[in-house]
C-alpha cells in the first residue's frame, strides 16, 4: 500500500464558523477523522505546515511547501496538500516550477464547503486526491470535483459551485468515476525531481482598462523587476497614453515586460493587429501566448530568482515546463 504525506495549509476545507466568518481551524488529523475509508486506499501521515485562508498565502509559503516536500520526498510515494481554493491555482503553478519533473504525484485539493458542513464537497475531493496520489500521476496537479487538472493550467472560474476549477488551453489529465481514476494524459517526469529554492517576488500585474495611460505602468515598473500586462483580445496596447514610450524606457533599464490577454481561452497573438505588432517586433516584449496569468506570475518569479540576464530570461520563459506553454514551439522564441 502506498505511503502518502498529507500536508495541511488551511483553506475552506479546514474551516469552521467563527464570529467573523469562516476561518481555518481544523488540523490534518481532524480532516482524516472525517474520511476513515482512506485507510483502505493508502497509508497516510500528516504534517500541519500552515493553517491559513489562501488569500493570505504568499510566495514565502510556496517555498515552505516545496521545502517540506523536498525534505520528505524519499519517505513517501506521493503528496497531498489541502489548500484554500482562492489562490490554489497560483500555488499549483508555483510548485510546478519549484519542483520539476517529479515522478511522484503532488496533488492539491480543497473544497467549496468546510468538511464539517452538510453537503460538503470536501470528503470526495480529499478522497479523490489520495486516490490520485496513490497512482502513477507524476508532477503537480489539482484534483477537484472529480477532475485532474495540470498544475500550470488551472484557474478558479467559479466562486461558489463545486465545479470551481477549469483547465485553461489544455485537456484535463483525467477524471474520477465511482472511485476509479481514468487517466487521459501522463505528465513527463524524470528519474528524480529537480528542486528550486529561490523566487523573486518583485513581479507586478496590470490589468488594462479602456482609457488607461502609462502612469500606473510607470509606478509598478519603478518598484518591480517585471511587469505582466493583461491586455485585450489577442494583445496590444493603446496608441495613446504613452504606453509605447513607457515600455521602451523600462526595457532599456533592464525590466522584464510580458504581454498576455484578459481572455481566458486561446491565448495572445501580438502580431495580428497594429496595436501589438510594434511591441513584439520592435521592442521585443515577451508574449505569454496560451499560458495562464497564474503560470506567468509564478514562472517569472522562478526565472528572476535564478537570473536577470535578458537572453536567459527569454530562453527560460519560452522553454515549456509542465506543458505551461504550447505556442510558440519550443526553441522558436519570439
- Binding residues for substrate, by number, are 54, 85-86
Residues whose CB falls within 8 Å of the CB of residue 224, separated by 6 or more in sequence, listed in order: 202, 203, 204, 255
Q: If you ran DSSP here, which 8-state letter would residue 279 be given?
A: I
Instruction: Compute the distance between CA of residue 232 and CA of residue 300 in angstroms, rounded to an integer.
Output: 21
- Decide: residue 30, CB within 10 A, 0-12 exposed, 13-18 middle, 19+ buried: middle
Instruction: Compute the distance between CA of residue 240 and CA of residue 212 in angstroms, rounded to an integer.
Output: 9
User: Hey, how many other C-beta atoms are within 10 angstroms of the C-beta on 283?
Assistant: 14
> Is residue 87 annotated as a catalytic residue, yes or no?
no
Q: If you ran DSSP here, which 8-state letter would residue 322 be given?
A: T
133 closest CA partner among 106, 153, 160, 113: 106
Per the annotation, binding residues are 54, 85-86
End-to-end CA distance of the chain: 47
> Which H or E element spans position 58?
none
> Is residue 58 annotated as a catalytic residue, yes or no?
no
Write down the catalytic residue from 9, 28, 85, 87.
85
Instruction: Compute the distance between CA of residue 182 and CA of residue 242 in angstroms, rounded to an integer.
Output: 52
Q: If you ran DSSP here, which 8-state letter would residue 210 be given?
A: T
How many distinct helices (H) and strands (E) make up the chain? 9, 18
Cell readout for 84 is: 484554500
Rounded-to-5 percentages of helix, strand, coil across the chain: 30, 25, 45
Instruction: Compute the distance between CA of residue 135 and CA of residue 131 in angstroms, rounded to an integer.
Output: 7
Partners of residue 230 on adjacent β-strands: 207, 260
- Assign 161 to helix, strand or coil: coil
Just list the catalytic residues: 12, 85
Amino acid at each position: 500500500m502506498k505511503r502518502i504525506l498529507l500536508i495541511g495549509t488551511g483553506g475552506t476545507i479546514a474551516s469552521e464558523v467563527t464570529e467573523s466568518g469562516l476561518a481555518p481551524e481544523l488540523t490534518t488529523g481532524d480532516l482524516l477523522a472525517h474520511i476513515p475509508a482512506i485507510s483502505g486506499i493508502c497509508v497516510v501521515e500528516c504534517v500541519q505546515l500552515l493553517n491559513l485562508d489562501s488569500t493570505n498565502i504568499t510566495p514565502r509559503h510556496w517555498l515552505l511547501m516545496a521545502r517540506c516536500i523536498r525534505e520528505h520526498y524519499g519517505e513517501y510515494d506521493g503528496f497531498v496538500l489541502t489548500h484554500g481554493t482562492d489562490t490554489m491555482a497560483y500555488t499549483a503553478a508555483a510548485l510546478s516550477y519549484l519542483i520539476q519533473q517529479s515522478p511522484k504525484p503532488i496533488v492539491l485539493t480543497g473544497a467549496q464547503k468546510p468538511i464539517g458542513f452538510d453537503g460538503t464537497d470536501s470528503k470526495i475531493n480529499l478522497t479523490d486526491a489520495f486516490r490520485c496520489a496513490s497512482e502513477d500521476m507524476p508532477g503537480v496537479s489539482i484534483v477537484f470535483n472529480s477532475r485532474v487538472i495540470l498544475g500550470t493550467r488551472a484557474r478558479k472560474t467559479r466562486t461558489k459551485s463545486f465545479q470551481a476549477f477549469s483547465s485553461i488551453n489544455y485537456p484535463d489529465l483525467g477524471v474520477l468515476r465511482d472511485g476509479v481514476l481514468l487517466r487521459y494524459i501522463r505528465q513527463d517526469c524524470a528519474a528524480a525531481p529537480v528542486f528550486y529554492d529561490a523566487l523573486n517576488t518583485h513581479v507586478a500585474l496590470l490589468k488594462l482598462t479602456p482609457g488607461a495611460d502609462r502612469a500606473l505602468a510607470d509606478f509598478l515598473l519603478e518598484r518591480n523587476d517585471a511587469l505582466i500586462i493583461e491586455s485585450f483580445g489577442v494583445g496590444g496596447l493603446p496608441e495613446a497614453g504613452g504606453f509605447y514610450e513607457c515600455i521602451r524606457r523600462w526595457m532599456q533599464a533592464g525590466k522584464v515586460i510580458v504581454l498576455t490577454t484578459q481572455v481566458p481561452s486561446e491565448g495572445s497573438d501580438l502580431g495580428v493587429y497594429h496595436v501589438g505588432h510594434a511591441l513584439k517586433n520592435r521592442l521585443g516584449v515577451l508574449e505569454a501566448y496560451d499560458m495562464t496569468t497564474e503560470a506567468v506570475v509564478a514562472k517569472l518569479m522562478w526565472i528572476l530568482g535564478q537570473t536577470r540576464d535578458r537572453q536567459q530570461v527569454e530562453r527560460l520563459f519560452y522553454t515549456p515546463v509542465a506543458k505551461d506553454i504550447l505556442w510558440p514551439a519550443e526553441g522558436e522564441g519570439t
